[in-house]
């Protein structure tokens, strides 16, 4: 899953794809690099990001989708928590909704997906972007995330989303310390009982910067290491900025994982 942020303030690529033609070209380039899916978002969810109104989100994202969806180069997902934005995007032909809150806003978003026969990614977040990194705390990290996602999955299915159109995401960086993120990437297998494909988004995130003491623009190698581990521990979908590099790393990791014992 390649990332296209149509935002002024995203942590890694804020401001680069505000022009709809540039954003659309970026989505096509990511597909050409091998993305099966591009995730287009217009509200940053980085720590302390300011919330964006539905009108503003639509103003940013619709011109991109209007250019992209008549001839999509791959599947297209809309990264939003707002039913009105999801509705507009799915009407234009988007295939999936990526909800970083895991239906924290209630089942309306899932109903929109159900009505359009769209897929839904459900992510775990503790708190909101404004508060999530203040003091993230868990009594049982893996258990709490699994049960939060299980509740969201049940809610989505009750709203009519097809069971085989739902994936789950532990939410790297969403109300997590560095150690929480590392544990999650090592233990993605803990989400297997949910019976859904696991999506994970480690790309260029702050935990990599904390380990390597590097800014977002210098986190490619860290992203490759995290992506490789994620594939070994149970991820089926990786949400990344650097599609070609991650695909190459992951293909080697998968070959090693799947090689028969000699």
Which residues form the catalytic set? 205, 239
Q: To the nearest whole angstrom, how small is the minimum distance from the Cβ of residue 257 to ligand HH2?
A: 22
Task: Extract the tokens encoding 245.
Answer: 């590099």
Q: To the nearest whole angstrom, how small is the minimum distance from the Cβ of residue 258 to ligand HH2?
A: 25
* Interaction residues for ligand HH2, span 99-128 (CB under 6 A): 100, 121, 123
**Binding of ligand HH2 at residue 79 (CB under 6 A)?**
yes
Q: Which of 169, 175, 191, 196 binds ligand HH2 (CB under 6 A)?
A: 169
Provide CB contacts within 8 A for 217, sequence distance 6+.
12, 204
Count residues binding ligand HH2 (CB under 6 A): 21
Contact range with ligand HH2 by CB under 6 A, out of 2-10, 106-114, 206-214, 246-254:
2-10
Cβ closest to ligand HH2, residue 79 vs residue 242: 79
Provide CB contacts within 8 A for 21, sequence distance 6+.
67
Residue whose CB is nearest to ligand HH2 in the complex, by number: 201
**Binding of ligand HH2 at residue 199 (CB under 6 A)?**
yes
Q: To the nearest whole angstrom, how small is the minimum distance from the Cβ of residue 46 to ligand HH2?
A: 3
Cβ closest to ligand HH2, residue 89 vs residue 100: 100
Alpha-carbon gap, residue 10 to 154, rounded angstroms: 31
Cβ closest to ligand HH2, residue 69 vs residue 203: 203
* Interaction residues for ligand HH2, span 30-59 (CB under 6 A): 41, 44-46
Binding site for ligand HH2 (CB under 6 A): 3, 5, 7, 10-12, 41, 44-46, 79, 98, 100, 121, 123, 169, 171-172, 199, 201, 239
């Amino acid at each position: 899953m390649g990332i296209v942020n149509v935002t002024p303030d995203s942590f890694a690529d804020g401001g680069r794809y505000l022009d709809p033609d540039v954003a659309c070209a970026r989505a096509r380039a990511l597909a050409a690099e091998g993305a099966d899916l591009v995730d287009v978002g217009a509200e940053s969810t980085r720590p302390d990001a300011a919330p964006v109104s539905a009108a503003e989100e639509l103003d940013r994202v619709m011109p991109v989708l209007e250019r992209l969806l008549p001839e999509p180069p791959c599947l297209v997902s809309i990264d939003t928590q707002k039913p009105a934005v999801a509705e507009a995007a799915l009407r234009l032909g988007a295939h999936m909704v990526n909800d970083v809150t895991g239906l924290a806003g209630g089942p309306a978003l899932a109903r929109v997906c159900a009505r359009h026969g769209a897929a839904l990614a459900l992510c775990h977040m503790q708190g909101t972007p404004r508060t999530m990194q203040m003091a993230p705390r868990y009594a049982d990290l893996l258990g709490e995330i699994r049960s939060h996602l299980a509740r969201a999955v049940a809610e989505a299915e009750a709203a009519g989303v097809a069971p085989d159109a739902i994936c789950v995401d532990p939410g790297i960086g969403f109300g997590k310390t560095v150690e929480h993120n590392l544990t999650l990437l090592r233990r993605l297998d803990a989400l297997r009982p949910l019976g859904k494909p696991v999506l994970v988004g480690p790309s260029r995130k702050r935990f990599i910067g904390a380990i390597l003491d590097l800014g977002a623009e210098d986190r490619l190698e860290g992203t490759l290491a995290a992506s490789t581990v994620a594939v070994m521990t149970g991820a089926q979908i990786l949400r990344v900025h650097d599609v070609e590099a991650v695909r190459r790393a992951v293909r080697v990791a998968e070959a090693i994982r799947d090689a028969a014992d000699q």
